[in-house]
Amino acid sequence: MVVTRHPRAGREVRAFGGARLFRGKDVLDIGTGNGRLAFDVAPYARRVLGIDPSEDSVRVARERAAAEGLRNVEFRVGDAAALDVGRERYDIAIFSWSL
């Protein structure tokens, strides 16, 4: 049995700057996959938008967000090279294993 293939992103988030960096920020997680990193940033951030080209991954991430009752995390299907965020501007964007 595999214990995990996708380690939690907590160590990465702390290495990037942790709570001090993300607290109160609007964060864009580009190539979010199943939201691995977005979920670890969410406790600090004001808002997290995860974008991924895979509809399946986005569905899984949305289901987890709903199950955990997270209100500051949103997931959308989209292309990193043509981000469709309208007039929204973010404080931080993360390419996590996606560039």
Partner 1 sequence: MVDALRSAHRAVKRGGLVIDARPDASRRPRVVAAGRVRAWLLQSSDADLRDDRADGSVARLVGRGLYRVVRSGHVWHSTRFADLTDLDAYLRDSARYAAFERGTRPRLAPFRDGPFDVRRAIGFDVLERL
For residue 99, state whether it binds partner 1 (rule: CB under 8 A): yes
- Tell me how crowded residue 90 is: count the other CB atoms within 10 A of its CB: 18
- Alpha-carbon gap, residue 89 to 19, rounded angstroms: 20
For residue 67, state whether it binds partner 1 (rule: CB under 8 A): no
Convert residues 2-21 into a mask of x (bound to partner 1 by CB under 8 A) and - (unbound): xxxxxx---xx-xxxx---x
User: What minimum distance in Å lies between the beta carbon of 69 and partner 1?
Assistant: 27
Residues 6+ apart with CB under 8 A from 93: 27, 28, 29, 30
Which residues bind to partner 1, rule: CB under 8 A? 1-7, 11-12, 14-17, 21, 28, 30, 80-83, 85, 88-99
